[in-house]
Amino acid sequence: MHEYSIVQSLLDQCEENVKANNSTKVLRVVVKIGVMSGVEPDLLKTAFDTFKEGTICEDCEYIQNIQKIKIKCLDCDTTSELEKSDYACPKCKSVELDVIDGEDLMLMQLELE
């Protein structure tokens, strides 16, 4: 499960931000998980809850925002969010698309004390 290595990286980022801001602990962590990121949100939450024990994130609130697939059609120039992995423009049915969002896992916000 690569979720464990992702959590370790996330905890490292939190620690770096705490040190850089002369804080003492993390109160809230907000991450954005794209549906195409390859990350399983439930496993990531379980891994975070497991590995945060004994760290500066031990008592923090953990929030996950799931990002749908956002595309831009190269034929009709329409931007859309896909409900499922159809990979076709909902307006013109073209498959000539750019994926704009929904592929990444990002640390979006930290609330520090």
pLDDT at 76 over 80: yes
Residue 5 pLDDT greater than 80, yes or no: yes
| 3 has pLDDT over 90 | no
Please state the pTM of the whole predicted model.
0.86
pLDDT digits (tens, 9 = 90+) for 18-45: 999 999 999 999 999 999 999 999 999 9
Give the domains, in start order, of the chain with CATH numbers: 3-112 (3.30.2320.80)
3 vs 21, higher pLDDT:
21
Give the CA count within 13 Å in the CB-facing half-sphere of 102.
Answer: 17
Residues in CB range of 42: below 8 A, 6 or more apart = none
pLDDT at 1: 53
What's the mean pLDDT in 98-111? 95
Provide, rounded to the nearest whole percent, the portion of the chain with pLDDT above 70: 99
